[in-house]
């Protein structure tokens, strides 16, 4: 994947708000020591998180109360 776009990510996420929330959560996980789910070469953590979302490696876990 040469570039990751918002449209690539929105194919797997219901809204832009959810996308921002997912990306922020994933960046926190990576910075706390979680392994990358896609191959990453010198990319920022945010870009890598968006690539993971676009590749459908990160999903939303819905709460029953929502």
Q: What is the reported pLDDT for 61?
A: 77
| Residue with the larger pLDDT of the pair 43 and 49 | 49
Residue 44 CA: distances (Å) to CA of 9, 61, 65? 17, 25, 34
Q: How far apart are CA 9 and CA 6, in angstroms?
A: 5
pLDDT value at 64 more than 80: no
pLDDT value at 62 more than 80: no
Q: How far apart are CA 26 and CA 17, in angstroms?
A: 14
Q: 20-39 pLDDT, tens per residue?
A: 999 999 999 999 999 999 98
Other beta carbons less than 10 A from residue 28's beta carbon: 12
Which residues are within 8 A (CB) of 44 and not within 5 positions of it... i.e. 6 or more apart? none
């Amino acid at each position: 994947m040469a570039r990751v776009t918002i449209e690539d990510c929105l194919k797997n996420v219901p809204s832009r708000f959810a996308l921002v929330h997912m990306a922020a959560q994933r960046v926190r996980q990576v910075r706390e020591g979680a392994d990358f789910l896609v191959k990453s070469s010198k990319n920022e953590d945010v870009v890598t998180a968006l690539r993971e979302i676009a590749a459908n490696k990160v999903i939303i876990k819905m709460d029953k109360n929502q």
